[in-house]
Amino acid sequence: MDQFFKASDLSVIGAELELALFGMIVLVLDLLFKNKRVLAYFSLAGIGWSGFLLLRLYNKVDEGAYGGALTLDPFAWFFKALFLVAAALAVAISIRYLDIERENHGEYYALILFATMGMMFMVGAMDLVTLYIGLETMAIATYILVGFLRSNPRSNEASLKYFLLGAFSSGILLYGFSLLYGIAGSTRFVIIRDALEQRSLSDPLSLMALAAVCAGMFFKIAAVPFHQWTPDAYEGAPTSITAYMSVAVKAASFAMIVRLFMIALFSLRPHWLIIMSVVSALTMTIGNIAAITQSNVKRLLAYSSISHAGYILLGLIAANQTGLIAIPIYLLVYTFTNLGAWAIIVALRRKDVIGEHIDEMSGLFFRHPVAAILMLIFLLSLAGIPPTAGFIGKYFLFAAVIETGHNVLAVIAVINAAISMYFYLRIVVAMFMQDATEKTGLDLAPGVLAVMAVAFVFTMWIGLYPDPFIAMARRAVGL
Amino acid sequence: MDFFNNNILSIITFWPLVGMLVLLLIPKGSTTLIKWWANLVALSGFFVSLPLWFSFNFDDPQMQKVVNVPWIQSLGANYHVGVDGISLLLVMLTTLIGPLAVLSSWDAIQVRVKEYYAFMLLLQAGMLGVFISLDFFMFYVFWEVMLVPMYFLIGVWGGPRKLYAAIKFFLYTLVGSVLMLLGILALYFQYPSIAAMHPEISAQFGALPTFDVLALHAVGPYLPFNLQFWVFLAFFVGFAIKVPMFPFHTWLPDAHVEAPTAGSVILAAVLLKMGTYGFLRFSIPILPAATVYFVPMMITLAIIAIIYGALVAMMQPDMKKLVAYSSVSHMGFVMLGMFALNPQGLNGSIIQQINHGISTGALFLIVGIIYERRHTREIAQLGGLSNVMPAYAVVFLIMTMSSIGLPLLNGFIGEFTIMAGALQKNLWWAVAGGAGIVLGAAYMLWLYQRTMFGKLDNPANQHLKDMNWREWATLIPLIIMAFWIGLYPAPFFRALDKPVNKLVSIVQAASPAGAPQAAREIR
């Protein structure tokens, strides 16, 4: 084994260290500043600086930092950048929202920074223990954030549910990890891969490990049948955190899944291929069908995010060049599009108006035409209608499954894409085809406007000219 | 001028889009300005498209006015446009119908005027894009883009059940198009392996996966039958929903009845042609073996549509719904001619598409005129209108005759040619088609008789005004076209000659029995 620590390894995690540092400073500054907006700006600066450090690492590829426990490959780099973007956008939509909820505290921003740091470790991990520590850093910070609206019982309930089920699933995952350690005698992904290759495919111990890891992972990405926590957690959480969870936590979990299944568990692919195909089909279908009946916008988008997880699994099922490119592309697209949509949901929350019911969006076009049109574009993108970014994401996934001959799955996926249009159109109908009520309206804070603008630009840019982004995704998966 | 001539297709397509963007800058209060601007854009769009017709070389079987520049290089998708005789006619039809539909909305649309015209222009751009695309990726983008404005046109400005009709339209079409997308992808990934075996193809179109329609045309004959079978079915769902073929037609009556007049006109005249165009441009040339294999199914569905559409039309109490079901029947004719797969059948099928655009478009305008005055389309409420609206009655009569295929008018040319094509293949196909023509004459004449003739006994109809100049302006171009095609269809057939022969030769090469099949099957 390599030397466990070299001084040069520190530079590999520079961006993460900097985020942790800023998080702690935010906690201290919280005591000094009455105006919590300053903390938000400070956190944004921290994220920006972290992004700058990351940018300097663009060409530095270090496969074996910390004796091989962490890596800084293009894959990790891509996702770290994605997390920072998502974190920045999430902070930007939070500022006014937290004021309205009267819960603007410094810890909020610090926790977002810590969660982001945890994700960055997750995606760089090449070792089960490092992976798990990153995962729990992210998860614990998110449990607290979900329950951040202390005086709101729904938020408390959501947090408790998420925490209990999350802890339970982490336990199962950890059990799987321990079995893998037992098989390989090491926690390094590459060694586990070699050890699993030595064993027969029907080895019960490997199968048990696979089952436990799958269950834990499916919980994290909210795949059926481990999706039950999602609607409650997404509905109860502060909307800005829902937005953050639906993109960043999801992206981090998928990055982790890709690493684990494409490296450590790759020799078990015949088994997990079947599991994932079934789970993917169920997740898409159940997520979409459940979304149809929702009239709470947060719940509706929660179910839609479940179905999106099902789509993304298609990339892993195909596991060829197109499929692997599809995962980062889709997550990138989803980050911008979904944050754009959530920014508008966040803006629905005003003083005295909860702004979660679909009726509260009725006639939005007459009050805020530009915002309604942007929301339309984001919804079309979520449904995968060209020329928006969502189509490019779906294109890659569908192409991957067709290319690898999973034709039945492809048909299920596209039919689901059509079904999803139905409930996205419900929001469109409310916004454009119903009359405005006294509750209709948006609180368009500067942060929300900025996020909407950024999301719009990227949604259309990726939709009309995706080449640079495809190149980024290609580089990320090493092609 | 060179620039204009080389890029004329792009200019025609994006002209309405540019007009729409300018329109968005006009304040929404100035409705008169918005209307004038939208009409100006749509009408100038027609004049911009005229040079295409005059500079088109009818003797050249290749795609013309081709522009092919890279778009998404990592996918092999290009901005590739071009027209042959088939798409030329459809582009001209679209640019002709567009301004008429826009003009017909002048009084009918009173609320949310700005958005209405913005969507109309966007729709126009989307439809034109479909007909000029020679890249499957680009085709798919345009195909989907035009769903959104049509959805809004029905959903915002439609009748009482507009939301239901709009969502039905959207979802039906979307299901079809996503399945079509899978078919496109299957071809995309199959291309390299076929091209590798045929150096002449890879020399021309490259060895990488491609969305280039011409490249796929080239590999078409070599595609394995199994693949052709499934891709044909995938395309079939996409295109048959759009046509609409029985049993996928149920969205059409709803969409037509609820849509505003201009929406129905565009829907009938142009949107349905996108489905038939899909069969002509993609299914038949790329999948010739599967095309031949599926002829019995396609013909059966076409005949069911002809008879069933006509019978249902006969029973409708609502004028618009009657015309909508007549569309189902007429599109059945189009499909019958197309899948006769001989020169007469295909020629007639394409001419009949244009005819259907003209006469059904005109009939929807005619229904719209009476609806604007009476706010009802119920046949029982009308009757004896020729007494108060003589000019209207004449126009209605011309279009009724055009629709039922009276000689000297356009419908006759199309139906006659289709029947000739069908008869060459199988007597019974022609008999079924003939029954459809008879039924068509019955429901249209009956409709005419019930609304125009008889006593004017409903007091609400006593003081109806005859057509005004604007309504004349929307209908006169269609009347001229109906007579032109009826009296002198040669230019249209000339445009179709080369592309149709190409299609026939592709299909004949793929037929199991080879060339003399047409003669053999006459009984």
Q: For each of chain B's 523 residues, which pLDDT tens digit applies?
A: 678 888 889 999 999 999 999 999 988 888 899 999 999 999 999 999 999 999 888 888 888 888 999 998 888 899 999 999 899 999 999 999 999 999 998 888 888 889 999 999 999 999 999 999 999 999 999 999 989 999 999 999 988 888 999 999 999 999 999 999 999 999 999 998 888 888 888 888 888 888 999 999 888 888 999 999 999 999 999 999 998 898 898 999 999 989 999 999 999 999 999 999 999 999 999 999 999 999 999 999 999 999 999 999 999 988 999 999 999 999 999 999 999 988 999 999 999 999 999 999 999 999 999 888 888 888 888 888 888 888 888 999 999 999 988 888 988 998 999 999 999 888 898 898 889 999 999 999 998 988 888 887 778 878 888 888 888 999 999 999 999 999 999 989 988 988 998 889 888 888 775 444 444 443 3
Whole-angstrom distance, CA of residue A48 vs CA of residue B93? 55
**Contact of B96 with B477, CB cutoff 8 Å:** yes
Give the chain B residue nearest A386 (alpha carbons).
B141
**Contact of B79 with B67, CB cutoff 8 Å:** yes
Report the gap between the CA of A425 and the closest CA in chain B (Å).
8
**Contact of B218 with B204, CB cutoff 8 Å:** yes
- Give the pLDDT confidence score for residue B523 in this predicted structure: 38
By the 10 Å C-beta count (0-12 exposed, 13-18 middle, 19+ buried), B66 is classed as middle
Q: Is the pLDDT of residue A43 over 50?
A: yes
Residue B449, number of CB atoms within 10 A of its CB: 12
Report the gap between the CA of A338 and the closest CA in chain B (Å).
20
The answer for residues whose C-beta is within 8 angstroms of residue A95's C-beta and 6 or more apart is A37, A40, A104, A445, A447
Two tokens at B202? 């890879």
User: Least CB-CB distance to A411: which of B71, B170, B182?
Assistant: B182
Residues of A in contact with B179 (CB under 8 A): 411, 414-415
Question: How does pLDDT run across A421-477, given as a tens digit for each residue?
Answer: 999 999 999 999 888 888 888 888 899 999 999 999 999 999 999 999 999 999 988
Choosing among B74, B78, B227, which should be mutated to test the A contact, i.e. which has the most A CBs within 10 A? B74
Whole-angstrom distance, CA of residue B520 vs CA of residue B523? 8
Report the gap between the CA of A384 and the closest CA in chain B (Å).
10
**Contact of A148 with A171, CB cutoff 8 Å:** no
The CA–CA distances, whole Å, from B452 to A283, A422, B387, B458, B482 equal 58, 42, 8, 12, 21
Question: How does pLDDT run across B408-432, given as a tens digit for each residue?
Answer: 898 899 899 999 999 988 889 889 8
What are the b/e assignments for A108-124, b being 16+ CB within 10 Å? bbbbbbbbbbbbbbbbb
Whole-angstrom distance, CA of residue A271 vs CA of residue B386? 76
Helix (H, G, I), strand (E, B) or coil at B113: helix
Residues of A in contact with B136 (CB under 8 A): none
- Give the pLDDT confidence score for residue B517 in this predicted structure: 42
- Give the pLDDT confidence score for residue B477 in this predicted structure: 93
A398·B185 Cβ contact <8 A: yes
B156·A432 Cβ contact <8 A: yes
Q: Is the pLDDT of residue A2 over 60?
A: no
Nearest alpha carbon to residue A348 among A335, A363, A337? A363
B163·A417 Cβ contact <8 A: no
Helix (H, G, I), strand (E, B) or coil at B455: coil
Give the chain B residue nearest A370 (alpha carbons).
B24
Nearest alpha carbon to residue B334 among B312, B363, B354? B354
The CA–CA distances, whole Å, from A381 to A74, A326, A336, B193, B210 equal 27, 16, 10, 33, 24
User: Least CB-CB distance to B141: which of A386, A418, A467?
Assistant: A386
User: Least CB-CB distance to B74: which of A418, A432, A467?
Assistant: A467
Whole-angstrom distance, CA of residue A372 vs CA of residue B236? 35
Question: How does pLDDT run across A83-96, given as a tens digit for each residue?
Answer: 999 999 999 999 98
**Contact of A337 with A389, CB cutoff 8 Å:** yes
Nearest alpha carbon to residue A76 among A189, A173, A181? A189
Average pLDDT, chain A: 91
Nearest alpha carbon to residue A238 among A105, A133, A428? A105
Question: How does pLDDT run across B381-397, given as a tens digit for each residue?
Answer: 888 888 888 888 899 99
Whole-angstrom distance, CA of residue A197 vs CA of residue A190? 11
Residues of A in contact with B230 (CB under 8 A): 407
B186·A467 Cβ contact <8 A: no
- Give the pLDDT confidence score for residue A65 in this predicted structure: 78
Question: How does pLDDT run across A118-163, given as a tens digit for each residue?
Answer: 999 999 999 999 999 999 999 999 999 999 998 889 999 999 999 9
**Contact of B418 with B433, CB cutoff 8 Å:** yes
Hey, which residues does B77 pair with through a beta bridge?
B72
Nearest alpha carbon to residue A178 among A205, A200, A204, A199? A205
- Give the pLDDT confidence score for residue B60 in this predicted structure: 84
- Give the pLDDT confidence score for residue B513 in this predicted structure: 56
Q: Which residues of B touch A (CB under 8 A)?
A: 71-75, 140-141, 144-145, 147-148, 151-152, 155-156, 162-163, 167, 170-171, 174-175, 178-179, 181-182, 185-186, 188-189, 230
B185·A429 Cβ contact <8 A: no
DSSP secondary structure letters along B223-266: S-HHHHHHHHHHHHHHHHHHTTPTTS-THHHHHHHHS-HHHHHH
Give the chain B residue nearest A403 (alpha carbons).
B189
Residues of B in contact with A395 (CB under 8 A): 75, 181
**Contact of A254 with A207, CB cutoff 8 Å:** no
DSSP secondary structure letters along A215-255: HHHHHHTT-TTS-THHHHHHHHS-HHHHHHIIIIIHHHHHH
Report the gap between the CA of A350 and the closest CA in chain B (Å).
28
A421·B141 Cβ contact <8 A: no
Radius of gyration for chain B, computed over Cα atoms and rounded to the nearest angstrom: 22
Residues of B in contact with A414 (CB under 8 A): 178-179, 181-182
**Could you tell me how many CB contacts below 8 A there are between chain A and chain B?**
75
Residues of B in contact with A386 (CB under 8 A): 140-141, 144-145
Report the gap between the CA of B278 and the closest CA in chain A (Å).
19
Every domain of chain A and the residues it spans: 9-476
Question: How does pLDDT run across A268-277, given as a tens digit for each residue?
Answer: 999 999 999 9
User: Least CB-CB distance to B185: which of A399, A471, A474?
Assistant: A399
Work out whether strand A62-65 and strand A70-72 pair parallel, antiparallel, or are unpaired.
antiparallel
Nearest alpha carbon to residue B93 among B325, B272, B323? B272
A425·B73 Cβ contact <8 A: no
A432·B152 Cβ contact <8 A: yes
Give the chain B residue nearest A410 (alpha carbons).
B182
Residues of B in contact with A288 (CB under 8 A): none
Phi, psi of A399 (to 5 degrees): -60, -40
The CA–CA distances, whole Å, from A109 to A27, A84, A92, A146, A454 equal 9, 13, 10, 13, 21
Q: State pTM to two decimals.
A: 0.93
What are the b/e assignments for A391-408, b being 16+ CB within 10 Å? bbbbbbbbbbbbbbebee
Residues of A in contact with B152 (CB under 8 A): 432
- Give the pLDDT confidence score for residue B514 in this predicted structure: 47
B181·A415 Cβ contact <8 A: no
Residue keyed to tokens 């009296």: B487
User: Least CB-CB distance to B163: which of A429, A467, A470?
Assistant: A429
**Contact of A201 with A270, CB cutoff 8 Å:** yes
DSSP secondary structure letters along A59-84: T--EEEEGGGTEEE-HHHHHHHHHHH
Q: Which residues of A touch B (CB under 8 A)?
A: 380, 385-387, 391, 395, 398-399, 402-403, 407, 410-411, 414-415, 417-418, 421-422, 425, 429, 432-433, 465-467, 470-471, 474
Task: Kindly report the three-state secondary structure assignment for every residue of B24-46.
Answer: HHCCCCCHHHHHHHHHHHHHHHH
Helix (H, G, I), strand (E, B) or coil at B318: strand
The answer for residues whose C-beta is within 8 angstroms of residue A262's C-beta and 6 or more apart is A316, A319, A324
The CA–CA distances, whole Å, from B463 to A218, B307, B459 equal 71, 38, 8
Give the chain A residue nearest B78 (alpha carbons).
A465
Whole-angstrom distance, CA of residue B110 vs CA of residue B99? 18
